[in-house]
Copies of this chain bind each other. A is one copy, B any other.
Amino acid sequence: MSKSNNVYKDAYNRGLRLLGETQSLPSEPELGTLLGVSRTTVRTILARMEETGLIAWNKRSKTVLRAPKPDDFFPEEETDTLAQIIERSFMRRLLAGGAEAGMQINELELAREIGVGTTSVREFLIRFSRFGLIEKRRNSHWVLKGFTRAFALELTEIREMFEIRSAAAFAALPQDSPVWADLDRLEDEHRLLASEITTRFNEFSELDERFHRLIHRASHNRFIVDFYDVIAMIFHYHYQWNKAQERERNEVAVAEHLAYIAALKSRDLGKVDAACRKHLKSARNTLLTSIPETGNRIIS
């Protein structure tokens, strides 16, 4: 079947949400930029909307006829990229136990298990390899290095190096840089979240990522910025399987972020360094305590 039309389905679903807001849709190119897809896909979407009686479409006029019903939407699982599907499957196996360091990874088996072609699995593994959790044996299998304490320590070591440097660069940015407005907005969101932490603690993850990415961007170094992908991936999956004391953890983190933001705004490098280190240290500890210490076998 060569290629799934998840791009279309996902854009279609997002397009449905626009329908509630207006009586007529904008031009095709405009819809394209709005949904982040090409005009070809936009036209496919419009065609279906017309077919299902959601809109009347005649050249430039695209009149909304009715609001979308729940079953107008494509099921969520059909809107995922193959890469996302493979990643999820792979991470589940990796984190949901039974994934010992040194274990071999079999492309064919993975592909069969997930129900996709080998090419997609291969491409996924190549992309994934930069996270430092797997390694390729030439002309042969991949080897799992394992989500071990050592991995967490190596990861956080780099993270700390990079973030301390980025934070210093951030604080040194001129007053008229737009990042200060971004920071103000993030601060507000932090305060809001802090006040409703008991119910919204699970929204912290996303805020956390945006905050740290903003800081890393101040480094103006693509390697530093890109490295945050590794951290984000690890945190994303790791905390999906480890919900212990999530609320408390996030409550502490929000407070640390606010102190960190205050330090940045003071532009006092000493304060920035201290606040940054303090937060990173506690982030490292949370990560470390959640890794069960199964023997640190090193396989070479």
Contact A132/B7 with A127-B126, A161-B165 known, Cβ cut-off 8 Å: no
Q: Are B130 and A130 in contact (CB under 8 A)?
A: yes
Q: Which residues of chain B are within 8 angstroms of A130 by Cβ–Cβ distance? A: 130, 226
Q: Are B123 and A222 in contact (CB under 8 A)?
A: no
- Interface residue count on the A side (C-beta < 8 Å): 26
Q: Which of A1-58 contact B (CB under 8 A)?
A: 7, 37
Q: Are A223 and B165 in contact (CB under 8 A)?
A: no
The distance in angstroms between the C-alpha atoms of A126 and B136, with both chains bound, is 15
Q: Which residues of chain B are within 8 angstroms of A122 by Cβ–Cβ distance? A: 123
Tell me if A286 counts as interface (CB < 8 A to partner B): no
Contact A221/B158 with A123-B123, A127-B126, A226-B132 known, Cβ cut-off 8 Å: yes
Chain B residue at smallest Cβ distance from A81: B138
Q: Are B158 and A7 in contact (CB under 8 A)?
A: no
Q: Which of A99-141 contact B (CB under 8 A)?
A: 119, 122-123, 126-127, 130, 132, 139
Contact A221/B157 with A119-B119, A132-B226 known, Cβ cut-off 8 Å: yes
Q: Which residues of chain B are within 8 angstroms of A221 by Cβ–Cβ distance? A: 154, 157-158
Tell me if A253 counts as interface (CB < 8 A to partner B): no
Q: Are B132 and A222 in contact (CB under 8 A)?
A: yes
For residue A289, give the distance in angstroms from its CB to the closest CB of chain B: 21
Q: Which residues of chain B are within 8 angstroms of A7 by Cβ–Cβ distance? A: 139
The distance in angstroms between the C-alpha atoms of A165 and B119, with both chains bound, is 39
The distance in angstroms between the C-alpha atoms of A151 and B145, with both chains bound, is 31
Contact A154/B123 with A7-B139, A165-B161 known, Cβ cut-off 8 Å: no
Query: In the complex, given contacts A154-B220, A154-B223, what are 19 additional A-B residue pairs having Cβ atoms less than 8 angstroms apart?
Result: A7-B139, A37-B139, A119-B119, A122-B123, A126-B126, A126-B127, A130-B130, A130-B226, A132-B222, A132-B223, A145-B222, A154-B222, A155-B223, A157-B221, A158-B223, A158-B224, A161-B165, A223-B227, A223-B230
Report 16 cross-chain contacts, Cβ distance below 8 Å, ordered by A residue.
Answer: A37-B139, A119-B119, A122-B123, A123-B123, A123-B126, A130-B130, A130-B226, A132-B222, A132-B223, A145-B222, A154-B221, A154-B223, A157-B221, A158-B223, A158-B224, A161-B161
